Amino acid sequence: MQPDRVTGERRPATVLFVDVVGSTSLAEGMDPEDWAATMERAMAIMTGAVERYEGWVASHTGDGLMALFGLPSAHEDDPARAVSAAIEMVDTIDRLAEDLRRNGIEFQIRVGINTGEVVVRDASAGGATRDSRIYGDTLNVAARMQSEAPPGGIMITGETYGRVSGAIESRHVGPVSVKGKAEPVEAYEVLGRTGVLRSVRGIAGLSSPMVGRDAELARLVAALTPVRAGLGRMALVVGEPGIGKSRLLAELRRVAEADGLGWVDARTVSYGRNLPLHLAIDLVRSLIGLPDPLESVPADEARERLASRLRHLAGPDDAGIGPVLSHLLSLPLDEAGAERLAHMEPHTLRLRYGEAVSNLVAATARNEPLVMVCDDVHWADDASVDLLTSLVGTVSALPILWVIASRADREVPGWRLVGAVRDAFGDGLIDIRLRPLQADDGERLVANLLAIDSLPAATRTMILGRAEGNPLFVEEIVRMLIDREAIEFHDGRWTATERVMDVEIPETLHGLLLARIDRLPAEARRVLRVASVIGRTFPVSVLDLVARSPS
């Protein structure tokens, strides 16, 4: 029976299809119970990987599944999450396959991923559920990528590749024909990671000096003087997504390293709250000088580099922290170290982690004055926050400038660290709140990127108006205009085409904005949807009238 009312929405998502290679032949050659047990193990692995990166398993296909990233809740880096989940699936299934290979069974999966818009129709009006119907060409293309992937491989479209290209090793497969599509689809095979998968920012071939943040940079640079004299300082840098926190810290790094200070930075990822001690582990990785990601070097090599670093620091408190730090980093331990740590209660072990990290920080600062940065703290997990909070009291006695960068999100574990820092340092804290760029600074940014004096005034006004003072928004709007050939570079000048005034929100910003909307209460989301239909600007009375009218 057709429901009286079907609700739904159109939204960006990244779709992942995974399938067991040759499942029909495999099932035919195995005992039914053995096959069922094998598939249950495989499904648990695949489902676990999706859920770890906060994706949604929308359906099972018998010998595979379809997952969406961006539903029911969006994240600003859903393409990176999908590719991360696929890499984890393939790696973990490979370990399962080793067991089966001993019995003559060759078990592999193939994964396909695509990013684009989908339409979700939901009769329950309660958001995406297993009863929802999902439509769109994005699904068809993802399924085609899965069928094109080699056994044990991952195939992604150009749409997904553009969001993760800076952190993966890949092979350009070329155009792939998709049934029902007039034009072939660009495809790339993922060969491995070259870094932590995050959304790609910046515009290749275009750059700008930092604008509008000179006063904030001067406050941070001034703190380096007492640090060189052996006094600790603490700074907070708080601002909305894309407002320029990371760029400010990059400028600070340039100055600090030129002045001979050491630089250590750690950051979490958007799904970091699902990864216990993730930020603390990344801080230790950076203090030791190991690459990001940590798994890009063999575990034995990483352990030797840890031991070498501790020998170099040779501080009086460093004896015995090697095994604890190795355990924190999930590196192999010798028999004695493994035996000692195996019998510790979880609470005691975490105390030992805190002591070991504190000793490592102190030894590093004794070796050279240090700037220590913890970025994206709004994504930190509870255990990392607890461990880092225990370090706050030791900073004032060490030649360290410790910078905490975060969004102003007071409902997350990371904000407890911000509160602890404020309580400990009071008026001595360098507290920086980044605001949107002023109009003249926004013009300077676009001028630096595009030599804007050669653009029509209407184009300049459109870019600045849509960006509303956010540097990331400026960059992404410019990127989209270039990609869509709405502005073109000819004879040393940027010129606008007839497409320039049709600009919408760039796809790269959809996830970031939608993630914030998805965290709002249901009624607030409904009012926003109504407002988006009315237009960009309107009297509040119109919104009130439309929002209150019967559905």
Q: 69: which strand partners?
A: 14
Note the Cα 60 to chain centre separation in Å: 27
- Please tell me the predicted confidence (pLDDT) of residue 481: 73
Helices (H), 102-213: 137-148, 158-164
Q: How far apart are CA 314 and CA 330, in angstroms?
A: 23
pLDDT digits (tens, 9 = 90+) for 289-305: 998 878 778 889 999 99
Q: Which H helix or E strand runs over 84?
A: helix 78-101
Q: 433: which strand partners?
A: 238
Q: What's the start-to-end Cα distance of the chain, in Å?
A: 22
Q: Report whether pLDDT(444) > 90.
A: no
Q: How far apart are CA 371 and CA 352, in angstroms?
A: 24
- Please tell me the predicted confidence (pLDDT) of residue 492: 67
Rounded average pLDDT over 268-278: 88
- Please tell me the predicted confidence (pLDDT) of residue 7: 58
Q: 493: which strand partners?
A: 490
- Please tell me the predicted confidence (pLDDT) of residue 13: 92
Contacts 24+ apart (CB under 8 A), 350-355: 350/383, 350/386, 350/387, 352/324, 353/277, 353/280, 353/324, 353/328, 353/387, 354/386, 354/387, 354/390, 354/391, 355/321, 355/324
Q: How far apart are CA 211 and CA 451, in angstroms?
A: 15
**Is pLDDT larger for residue 324 or for residue 179?**
324
**11 near 64, Cβ under 8 Å?**
no
Q: How far apart are CA 260 and CA 23, in angstroms?
A: 59
Which residues touch 164 (CB under 8 Å, ≥6 apart)? 79, 80, 83, 156, 197, 199, 200
Q: Which H helix or E strand runs over 65?
A: strand 64-69
- Please tell me the predicted confidence (pLDDT) of residue 1: 45
Which residues touch 366 (CB under 8 Å, ≥6 apart)? 313, 315, 398
- Please tell me the predicted confidence (pLDDT) of residue 242: 81
CA distances from 336 to 61, 130, 193, 323 (A): 48, 50, 34, 9
Tokens of 490: 């000819």
In the block, tokens 């370990």 appear at: 95
* Phi, psi torsion values for 461, nearest 5 degrees: -65, -40
Average pLDDT of the residues of the chain: 83
Q: Which structural domains are found in the chain, ordered by start?
A: 7-193 (3.30.70.1230), 214-433 (3.40.50.300), 439-509 (1.10.8)
Q: Report whether pLDDT(253) > 70.
A: yes
- Please tell me the predicted confidence (pLDDT) of residue 114: 96
pLDDT digits (tens, 9 = 90+) for 137-147: 999 999 999 99
**138 near 113, Cβ under 8 Å?**
no
Is 543 in a helix, a strand, or coil? helix
For the chain, percent of residues with pLDDT exceeding 70: 78
Q: Report whether pLDDT(380) > 60.
A: yes
> Model's pTM, two decimal places?
0.75
- Please tell me the predicted confidence (pLDDT) of residue 536: 61
pLDDT digits (tens, 9 = 90+) for 9-41: 788 899 999 999 988 888 888 888 988 888 899
- Please tell me the predicted confidence (pLDDT) of residue 143: 92
Rounded average pLDDT over 298-317: 83
In the block, tokens 């603490």 appear at: 234
* Phi, psi torsion values for 400, nearest 5 degrees: -135, 135
pLDDT digits (tens, 9 = 90+) for 406-418: 999 898 999 999 9
Q: What is the DSSP string of 495-518?
A: EE-TTGGG----HHHHHHHHHHHH
pLDDT band of residue 511 (cuts 50, 70, 90) is: low
CA distances from 323 to 21, 196, 335, 341, 344 (A): 42, 26, 11, 8, 13
pLDDT digits (tens, 9 = 90+) for 63-75: 899 999 988 888 8
pLDDT digits (tens, 9 = 90+) for 496-505: 676 666 656 5
Q: Report whether pLDDT(80) > 80.
A: yes
- Please tell me the predicted confidence (pLDDT) of residue 57: 93
pLDDT band of residue 543 (cuts 50, 70, 90) is: low
